[in-house]
Amino acid sequence: VSPDVFSENRSREIRYDLTIIVPVYNSENWLKECMESIVLQKTKYSFQIIAIDDGSTDRSGQILNQYIKNPCVEVIRQENKGYSGARNAGLERVKSKYIMFVDSDDFLLPGAIDALLDTAFAHDCDLVEGGAYYVYDHGKAIMHRYKSDQKISSPYALHGQPWGKVYRGALFEHLCFPEGYWYEDSLLSYLIFPNAKNVWVTGHMAYG
């Protein structure tokens, strides 16, 4: 593993239950739906949204401007660094116990935050994964769904993508997404999963 995969230890101030990191690059067709699905979550938990405009050349930046006045939303502008570079910029500003990644062409289902964090806090989890839909032009199909909330013996039974999960923030204190690699999401799973000792899944659908 390249040394630059690892980052300096982050001294984190815990102000929220959850930070949702949204990397944004030229996603004007889906970004509004994505942001609304997060901002309008009805939840008993406190959360912040960090949206990173990763050098977009379309109207994505203008769409994000609509959320700047929302006290739960922080918008970061930077030159294009790819998904990993955008997520890393968000990780540097995390102030929460748990972290979630949402791609800007996806969305959270109603009740997703409560479903994932209820399980996370009830069992002091390192990682919780929810069900997800595959969304296409004419509808949606189930990508994966779990029958019930349950602890799993190996985190490698989870799907390798970073989205659709909440992670204990401490898992990222010494790590960042490796930039400049193909399939960087899969590479991260080999760094994060071994350190996730208490892993659960929830029967709730959370992501689309």
Residue with tokens 């289902």: 109
Rounded to an integer, what distance in angstroms lies between the CA atom of residue 2 and that of residue 188?
12
**Residue 164 identity:** G
Q: What is the pLDDT of residues 83-135, one digit of tens each?
A: 889 999 999 999 999 999 999 999 999 999 999 999 999 999 999 999 998 76
**Residue 111 identity:** G
Q: Work out the mean pLDDT of the chain and round it to a whole number.
A: 88
Q: What is the pLDDT of residues 160-206, one digit of tens each?
A: 788 999 999 999 988 888 787 665 566 667 778 888 999 999 999 99
Q: CB of 97 within 8 A of CB of 168?
A: yes
Q: What is the pLDDT of residues 145-163, one digit of tens each?
A: 899 999 998 877 888 788 9
Determine the pLDDT at residue 176: 81
Q: φ, ψ for residue 43 (rounded to 5)?
A: -150, 150
Q: Is the pLDDT of residue 8 over 50?
A: no
Determine the pLDDT at residue 10: 47
Determine the pLDDT at residue 9: 42
Rounded to an integer, what distance in angstroms lies between the CA atom of residue 165 and that of residue 198?
13
Rounded to an integer, what distance in angstroms lies between the CA atom of residue 128 and that of residue 151?
9
Rounded to an integer, what distance in angstroms lies between the CA atom of residue 140 and that of residue 163?
17
- The vertex-132 CA angle with 176 and 134, nearest 5°, equals 105
Q: What is the DSSP string of the chain?
A: --GGGB-PPP-----EEEEEEEEESS-TTTHHHHHHHHHT---SS-EEEEEEEES--STHHHHHHTTTTSTTEEEEEE---HHHHHHHHHHTT--EEEEEE--TT--BPTTHHHHHHHHHHHHT-SEEEEEEEEEETTEEEEEE--SS-EE-S-GGGS-SSSSSEEEEGGGGTTB-PPTT-TTHHHHHHHHHGGG--SEEEEEEEEE-
Determine the pLDDT at residue 4: 39
> Which residue in 44, 27, 10 sits closest to 116, CA to CA?
44
Taking the whole predicted model, whether its pTM rises above 0.85 is answered as yes
pLDDT grade, residue 136 (50/70/90)?
A: low
Determine the pLDDT at residue 184: 58
Q: Is the pLDDT of residue 5 over 70?
A: no
Rounded to an integer, what distance in angstroms lies between the CA atom of residue 197 and that of residue 175?
17
